[in-house]
Amino acid sequence: MSAKKKKKVSRKQLQAEKKQRAARRRNWLLALGVVVVVGFIGYSLATSGAGPAPPITEGLSQQEIAALPAAPVIGANAPDFTISDVEDNPFTLSEALGNPTAIMFFHSW
């Protein structure tokens, strides 16, 4: 009778060890997955070429830099310009003075 008890105890121990091994394997796979994802993100960022943009004045002489218009000021009036709308009709910004105007610049490739 003691042999049967011993057998049941060893079966429980085997099941417990099996669960521990499965849990360890799962933890290792999870850790490996995290390492792979972090490595991929790091590699993507390192090879994306997204470094700092060169200054807009790179390659310009001092006279050319001085001739550049001043940067727009938030809250100031927009400089006057004329462009063509989608139907090739000219639009001048000063014509819309006093009316709410939304300007959206975009380009479709």
pLDDT score recorded for residue 2:
53
* Dihedral of alpha carbons 20, 24, 29, 33, sign: positive
Q: Which of 70, 68, 69, 90 has the alpha carbon at shortest distance from 81?
A: 90
Q: What is the pTM of this model?
A: 0.36
Q: Please, what is the average pLDDT of the chain?
A: 82
Q: Does 109 have pLDDT greater than 70?
A: no
pLDDT (mean) for 28-32: 93
pLDDT in tens, 35-68: 999 999 988 887 776 667 777 788 888 898 888 8
pLDDT (mean) for 67-91: 85
